[in-house]
Structures are given as C-alpha cells and as structure tokens.
C-alpha cells in the first residue's frame, strides 16, 4: 500500500499539481464571485473595447476556461448549484426564491464553504455570494464569519437617471454616472476594503488555512459608476454595440419568449426608442471596469501580505447578460450571452497562461477545489473536477455543459455546438464554428439530426418540479396553459 501511495504521489507532483496533507499544509482559497458579468472580459474577447486589466492578469497567472457555462441564467439557482454541487433540475430551485435552507430536500446539504470548514478551514465571506443571506441562524451557517455587506450598490440618486422604464418601472432598472466622484461609497469598494483588511489579519495567523469568499455586485443593475470609469469608453458614435439584427428571432421558436415573458429588464426596442442603447452598453462596460479594479485591489492585497504563493484563486460569474442580442436585455435565456461566463483558476502550483476550450460548468467548481486542496472526495456532487484540464488544457471531456431555466428548458453546449430544447418540445441548434453569435437556427435542417440527438441524450428527461415556495421568474404549465409568475400567458400580450 505504501508503494502504491508513493507512485500516486510522485505522479501528481510530476504533473505540476499541488498535494496537501495536514491542514496547516493546505492551500488557502480565495473565492471571487462577480454578479451578472458576461464574457465581456479582455481575456475572453467578448467585447473589443472592454478594459479588465486585473482579471486579464489573473488569467495569465493561471488557467482560463474560455468555454465555461452556468447551470442557470439567474442568480439564485446558479449560486445554489455552485455552492451545493447539484443541478437546478435536481434541487427544484429554478427561481429567485426559495432560499435553499427553506426547502426540505436541500436544507441539510453541506455547501462548499461548510465542507471546507469541516476539514479544518477558517471560512469567511463578504458581499454577494449566495443570492440572499437571510437573518435567521439556520441561514447563517454557510460561513463562520460574515462581513457587513450582503450585496447592492450602496446608494441611488433621488430620481431615476433614465426615467420610467417599461414592464413595471423597477427601481433597479437604471444606469449612468452616479455619483460623479467617490468610488469609496460603493458597496463593492467596501467589500474590497474588507478583503484587504482581512488578508492583513490572516497573514498573522497561519495556524489554519482559510476559505475567503469575496462577492462583487456590479455589473448587476443599477449600472452606476463614477465618471472616471465612463471616461474609459468612447461616446455613442465610436462605441461598439453587440450584434442584434432585427431579424434575429425570425427562426427562433415562439416559446423562447416564455422564458423572459415579462421582466423589469427592458427590450432592445425600448432602448432604441428612448435613445438609451449606447448609454446602457457604456454603463455596463463602466461598471465592469470598476469591478475589475476592485478585483485588482484584492489580488494586490493577497500579494502584499505574502499569501499569493500559498493560495488558490477561483474567479467566476454567476451568469451572463444580454445588451440587445436577440432583442432583449438581461439574462433568463439559454443562449450564449446568458450562459457563457468567466472562470479562472490560479495560484499555488497551478499552470500559468493556460487556456482550455473545453465546455465546462460552474458546477465543476466544488469538486475541483476539493481535489486541488487535497480534501477527501465529497460524495454526491454532480460536477466533475477540472483537474485533468488544469494539468493539460487539451484533455477532452465527454460531457457538455448544461444550462436550465425552469423545468424542461435546457441548453446543451459542447465545444462546437449549442442545442436548446424547450418545455414544449421546440428546438434550436447553432454551429459556433461558423455562427458564433447564434444568428442561424439549424434545428430544422435534416442534415443535423444526429448532432441534435447526440446533444439531447445528455438531458435527464425528467426534471424536479418547482421546489415549494418557488417564485419570481417562474414559468409553469397548468393543464394545457402556461403561466408566468402565476399569471396566464396570452400570446397577444407579448412585449417585444
């Protein structure tokens, strides 16, 4: 048995992957979450003008998964999936509610930070990690120490900058320069300051490794940033707008509208009518750069305190965001703009400047961190460790990435293809090698029937029903009719 252990140990070391034994030898974990950030990151080439120098330098320091996808295009189900290691179609949590501790099937699950705590880690968190924290003791069990910021931007102007918006005039649906100066009043700035202070403290106490979660709210709406971040980007005439041809939904099933039937997020038509498309795109870019700067502050603090060489960093976003593509803004779709997200692993013992093009899932974060830190394998996780791709980015994965939005609606993303099947049986298929913007639906082309079948076989066929207490962006069939947030969907009332 000793000889077997020796050969396994030597094999891992030669592969360049760290091995940790006792608790004090294990790497720390810096877990950085960003809300609503799509692939508009320099390292991902998602937008030709975006400026994200800090995320880009992290990518150069580690392994960038350039084809990573979320399990759900919505905050709560995405984050529950990441932190529990289970898919939405397993837990039944598809919407902005319920909290996972309020559901019998998930209330006793051991989440990622809890598993690290059980294995000797000090766990602490600030900012938005879960969609909601809750104030009761049973909902404050994920971390040993909670910072003072739970999310949000930290202040709104007296009146909305963009005036009244369609579909409810939600107060969060706003964007522009606010305040003119003073980044320090923003919650994300305060989250980064907290991280700086905590890292200085953790430097002095190395008796146990730490798992620190740092969650940034922007570029979630409202898209407010100070003037200096807007000044990084050109005005209307020179600003690059995402490709959004008027005919983009001509070959898309009508059922696709059901996934975002009536939302606070405005349609592209409203942006154009109100001369706000450029302003919103520029606001989104400005908030990305502001958030990138806060990421940089945390990375600098890690290095300044001598913790960089013994820490594994993972950076991710919970889902993407449309800025006009397919005629909409926001998330809640199964297309690339909603599902494709940044995912980077960097730090102790990991390769540098490596890019993997394999289709991977945020679900894979949990088992990957467990394996990288040498913890005992966690049973019951539905993700697959990314260690093979970290060792060698050319290593293929048999399984594609699956995204789900309400029961029965799924996207299957492989290295080349995206296949979508909706709850009514309608389909889409896109060839990303020839059509990276997903303009041409090939689902009805007989020549691609086998491609569709190869992707469809990864779907379970039976999804868990909505968990008790499900609400907010809930799509449900009752009898022969479809309901959006408990209201009957009437096709003639569609807002495009």
Per-residue CA distances from 493 to 115, 257, 388, 429 (Å): 47, 11, 49, 27
Q: For the chain, how many structural domains are there in total?
A: 1
272 within domain boundaries: yes
With left for phi above 0 and alpha for psi between -120 and 50, is residue 155 left, alpha or beta? left
351 within domain boundaries: yes
108 within domain boundaries: yes
pLDDT of residue 8: 35
Query: Is-contact 156 222, C-beta < 8 A?
Result: yes
131 flagged as catalytic = yes
pLDDT of residue 234: 96
CA dist 188 and 154 (Å) reads 8
pLDDT of residue 207: 87
450 within domain boundaries: yes
CA dist 365 and 382 (Å) reads 11
Residues in the chain with pLDDT values less than 50: 1-16, 18-22
12 within domain boundaries: no
15 within domain boundaries: no
473 within domain boundaries: yes
pLDDT of residue 69: 98
460 within domain boundaries: yes
pLDDT of residue 23: 52
pLDDT of residue 139: 66
Pairing verdict, β 360-361 and 68-69 = parallel
Instruction: Name every residue whose Cβ is closer than 8 Å to that of residue 470 and which is 6 or more positions away in sequence.
Output: 92, 93, 94, 95, 97, 98
pLDDT of residue 205: 86
Q: Catalytic pick from 47, 69, 75, 410?
A: 75
The number of CA neighbours under 13 Å toward the Cβ of 415 is 10
pLDDT of residue 150: 78
| Domain membership of residue 69 as a residue range | 25-493
CA dist 426 and 443 (Å) reads 9
CATH number (domain holding residue 449):
3.40.720.10
Q: Catalytic pick from 47, 99, 100, 131?
A: 131
């Amino acid at each position: 048995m000793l000889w077997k252990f020796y050969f396994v140990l030597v094999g891992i070391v030669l592969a360049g992957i760290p091995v940790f034994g006792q608790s004090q030898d294990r790497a720390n974990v810096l877990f950085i979450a960003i809300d609503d950030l799509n692939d508009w990151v320099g390292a991902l080439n998602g937008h030709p003008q975006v400026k994200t120098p800090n995320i880009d330098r992290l990518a150069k320091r580690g392994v960038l998964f350039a084809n990573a996808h979320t399990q759900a295009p919505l905050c709560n189900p995405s984050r529950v999936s990441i932190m529990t290691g289970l898919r939405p179609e397993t837990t039944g949590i598809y919407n902005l509610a319920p909290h996972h501790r309020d559901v019998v099937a998930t209330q006793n699950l051991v989440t990622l930070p809890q598993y690290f705590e059980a294995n000797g880690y000090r766990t602490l968190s600030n900012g938005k990690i879960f969609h909601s924290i809750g104030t009761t003791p049973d909902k404050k069990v994920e971390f040993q120490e909670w910072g003072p910021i739970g999310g949000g931007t930290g202040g709104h102007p007296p009146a909305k900058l963009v005036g009244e918006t369609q579909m409810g005039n939600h107060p969060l649906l706003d964007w522009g320069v606010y305040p003119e100066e003073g980044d320090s009043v923003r919650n994300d700035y305060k989250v980064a300051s907290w991280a700086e202070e905590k890292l200085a403290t953790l430097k002095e106490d190395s008796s146990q490794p730490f798992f620190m979660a740092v969650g940034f709210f922007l570029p979630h709406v409202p898209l407010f940033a100070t003037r200096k971040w807007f000044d990084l980007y050109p005005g209307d005439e020179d600003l690059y707008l995402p490709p959004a041809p008027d005919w983009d939904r001509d070959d898309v099933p009508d059922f696709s509208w059901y996934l975002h039937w009536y939302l606070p997020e405005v349609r592209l038509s409203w942006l154009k009518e109100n001369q706000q498309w450029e302003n919103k795109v520029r606001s989104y870019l400005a908030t990305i750069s502001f958030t990138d700067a806060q990421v940089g502050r945390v990375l600098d603090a890690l290095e300044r305190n001598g913790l960089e060489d013994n820490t594994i960093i993972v950076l991710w976003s919970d889902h993407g965001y449309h800025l006009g593509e397919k005629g909409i803004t926001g998330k809640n779709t199964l297309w690339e703009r909603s599902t494709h997200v940044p995912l980077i692993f960097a730090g102790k013992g990991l390769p540098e400047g490596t890019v993997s093009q394999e289709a991977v899932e945020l679900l894979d974060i949990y088992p990957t961190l467990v394996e990288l830190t040498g913890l005992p394998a966690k049973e019951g996780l539905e993700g697959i460790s990314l260690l093979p791709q970290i060792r060698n980015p050319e290593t293929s994965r048999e399984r594609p990435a699956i995204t789900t939005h309400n029961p029965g609606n799924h996207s299957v993303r492989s290295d080349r293809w995206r296949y979508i099947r909706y709850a009514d049986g309608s389909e889409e298929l896109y060839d990303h090698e020839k059509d990276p913007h997903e303009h041409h639906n090939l689902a009805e082309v007989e020549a691609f029937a086998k491609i569709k079948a190869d992707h469809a076989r990864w779907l379970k066929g039976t999804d868990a029903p909505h968990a008790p207490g499900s609400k907010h962006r809930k799509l449900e069939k009752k009898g022969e009719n479809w309901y959006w947030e408990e209201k009957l969907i009437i096709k003639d009332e569609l807002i495009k």
